[in-house]
């Protein structure tokens, strides 16, 4: 099992589409936007790995795109109402469309279905002729969610609420705006979470004493630690830079300089 950001990683991108004509239905252009955001977000990580890893990590993202169209009326999913969503807020919004999407894909509802899909991604035959060593699922939807983008580390899945995360200008939900048409760095940031990297921005309530990733690296660029200077980092802000702590959390470390990453797949 590979828990570092290296080697081939399979990703199931599930576009959770609403009924035709509804507010949850994706247009063709929006569907392409989703694919483009993931491609560019992964490209950012690939470029960062080239620049920052002491040994090439052979990062290769492999995408299995699915579009499932549900009959659920988007009006039945409550709009987000707070910048501090509770567990119940997440559940009430995500569960209905996520469960239906998994069923439409032929899997059981809940995290068991996500796990099964991930196992499929790990074992299926890929056209590129490469066998992945890790996998996760990314749900992208126009149905409401409690927040615009988040990652479940332990269950290996992400949620992107497309209209919100890609919004610019005055568009806001629950008092927060999105990150614009080119929201690929949100994808890169959330993918960082999949590989164990923590948030570094103050609002995340991070602590520099916490440790993360396969190598147990502390969150040394956490903004809440006022005793140290902070540097630009993808896990801190909307930038394509990356800090030393995140580099190490990703597993881009060759401590003994033997030309092999310490946690190579």
**Region binding another protein by CB under 8 A among candidate stretches 16-24, 69-77, 78-86, 253-261:** 78-86
Dihedrals phi, psi of 255, to nearest 5 degrees? -65, -35
Residue 54 as a binder of another protein (CB under 8 A): the answer is no
Q: How far is the CB of 83 from another protein (least distance, A)?
A: 5
Eight-state DSSP code of residue 232: -
Residues 230-249 interacting with another protein (rule: CB under 8 A): 232, 236-239
* Contacting residues for 200 by C-beta, under 8 A, at least 6 apart: 206, 219, 221, 222, 223, 230, 233, 235, 236, 243, 245, 246
Residues 120-139 interacting with another protein (rule: CB under 8 A): 121-123, 125-130, 133-136
Which residue from 25, 52, 182, 262 is in contact with another protein, where contact means CB under 8 A?
182
Would you give the end-to-end CA distance of the chain in angstroms? 7
Number of residues that bind another protein (CB under 8 A): 106
Q: How far apart are CA 92 and CA 175, in angstroms?
A: 19
| Binding pattern for the stretch 84-123 against another protein, x by CB under 8 A and - elsewhere | xxxx-xxx-xxx---x---------xxxx--x--xx-xxx
- Residue 29, both tokens: 């252009």
Q: Which DSSP helix (H) or strand (E) runs through 151?
A: strand 149-152
Residue 226 as a binder of another protein (CB under 8 A): the answer is no
* Nearer of residues 110 and 260 to another protein, judged by Cβ: 110
Residues 183-212 interacting with another protein (rule: CB under 8 A): 189-190, 193-199, 201-207, 209-212
């Amino acid at each position: 099992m590979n828990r570092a950001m290296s080697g081939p990683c399979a990703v199931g991108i599930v576009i959770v589409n609403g009924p035709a004509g509804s507010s949850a239905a994706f247009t063709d252009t929006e569907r392409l936007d989703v694919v483009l955001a993931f491609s560019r977000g992964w490209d950012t990580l690939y470029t960062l790995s080239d620049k920052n890893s002491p040994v090439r990590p052979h990062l290769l993202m492999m995408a299995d795109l699915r579009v499932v169209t549900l009959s659920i009326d988007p009006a039945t999913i409550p709009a987000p109402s707070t910048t501090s969503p509770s567990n119940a807020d997440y559940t009430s919004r995500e569960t209905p469309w996520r469960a239906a999407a998994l069923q439409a894909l032929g899997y059981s509802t809940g995290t068991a279905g996500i796990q099964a899909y991930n196992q499929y991604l790990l074992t299926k035959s890929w056209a590129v002729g490469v066998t992945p060593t890790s996998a996760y699922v990314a749900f992208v939807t126009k149905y409401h969610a409690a927040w615009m983008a988040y990652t479940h580390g332990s269950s290996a899945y992400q949620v992107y609420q497309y209209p919100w995360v890609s919004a610019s200008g005055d568009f806001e939900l629950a008092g927060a705006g999105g990150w614009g048409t080119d929201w690929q760095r949100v994808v890169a940031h959330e993918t960082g979470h999949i590989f164990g990297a923590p948030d570094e921005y103050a609002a995340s309530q991070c602590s520099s004493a916490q440790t993360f990733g396969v190598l147990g690296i502390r969150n040394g660029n956490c903004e809440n630690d006022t005793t140290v200077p902070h540097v630009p980092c993808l896990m801190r802000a909307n930038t394509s830079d990356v800090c030393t702590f995140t580099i190490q959390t990703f597993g881009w470390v060759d401590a003994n300089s033997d030309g092999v990453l310490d946690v190579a797949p």
